[in-house]
Amino acid sequence: MKPGRRKLRRSRALLVGALALLVALAAGCLRYEPSPGNVALTFDDGPHPQWTPQILDVLDFVGVPATFFVVGDEVERYPELVAEMQRRGHSVQNHSATHPDLTTLSDAAVRQELRSTTDAIVAAGADAPVCLRPPYGSYDQRITSLAEAEGLEMLLWDVDTRDWAQPGVPAIVDAATRAGDQDIILLHDGSGDRSQTLAALAEIIVELDAMGYGFEPICVAP
């Protein structure tokens, strides 16, 4: 792609993001945490051609909206999965382009990680992201400022299910169902074998529902 065209696409993505933010601000404010009585299911490191469609189908089956923190390089590989997330009413947010520890990168490299991911998400047909979940939860004041300059709010999690370590389905369910009111729960749909996460998901939802919680996407207008 010619540099000029890339620049145009980027500025269009920024414009779309700014407009989405203005609309959200006019409507009240963006929801960065679930409202009282709710929790948020979040999935990192996708989209993945094997696991993401199955996770989307489970969420669809039980009518639960979630939030996907996607990796830009994977978005470029599987844009149709990101379009599907958007079509099914999920929130799609920024998790960097190549999943580095952002604190080890130069300012310019961090900007590139964030911008190219936002561009890929918008090009795939989803709303421009407004939240950044830094890979490994690693960030500092410099990363926070660089993200804010790109229109991205830092967003971590409250409950780590440690599903990335494949500790077994019962351990993932147990960790997730220790969530309290308004907690953000960390799960993964990418970067490895996610069969345990997939197997745990329905039970997590059933148990949290039985505890009286609803489910909300985050980083969206209420």
Catalytically annotated residues = 44, 188
Name residue 203's amino acid: E
Asked if 45 is part of the footprint of Zn ion (rule: CB under 5 A), the reply reads yes
The nearer residue to Zn ion, 17 or 135, going by C-beta atoms, is: 135
- 163 belongs to the binding site for Zn ion (CB under 5 A): no
CB nearer to Zn ion: give 127 or 163.
Answer: 163
Instruction: Output the DSSP codes for 77-121.
Output: H-HHHHHHHHHTT-EEEE--SS---GGGS-HHHHHHHHHHHHHHH
Residues 39 and 208: beta-carbon distance below 8 Å = yes
The residue among 45 and 183 lying less far from Zn ion, judged by its C-beta, is 45
**Spatial distance between the Cα atoms of 220 and 86, rounded to a whole number of angstroms:** 12
Count of residues in contact with Zn ion, rule CB under 5 A: 3
Q: Are 112 and 97 in contact (CB under 8 A)?
A: yes
Q: Which residue is nearest to Zn ion (CB)?
A: 44
CA atoms within 13 A on the CB side of 10: 15
Question: To the nearest whole angstrom, how small is the minimum distance from the Cβ of residue 94 to Zn ion?
Answer: 11
User: From the CA atom positions of the chain, what is the Rg in Å?
Assistant: 17
Q: Whose Cβ is closer to Zn ion: residue 10's or residue 162's? A: 162
Positions 110 through 149 that interact with Zn ion (CB under 5 A): 135
* Contact in structure between 125 and 79 (CB atoms under 8 Å): yes
Residues numbered 76-95 forming contacts with Zn ion, rule: CB under 5 A: none
Part in contact with Zn ion (CB under 5 A); list of ranges 10-18, 41-49, 148-156, 178-186: 41-49
For tokens 């229109």, what's the residue?
151
Q: How far is the CB of 101 from Zn ion (least distance, A)?
A: 11
Among 13, 44, 126, 216, binds Zn ion (CB under 5 A): 44
| Minimum distance, C-beta of residue 133 to Zn ion, in the bound complex (Å) | 7
- What is the contact surface with Zn ion in residues (CB under 5 A)? 44-45, 135
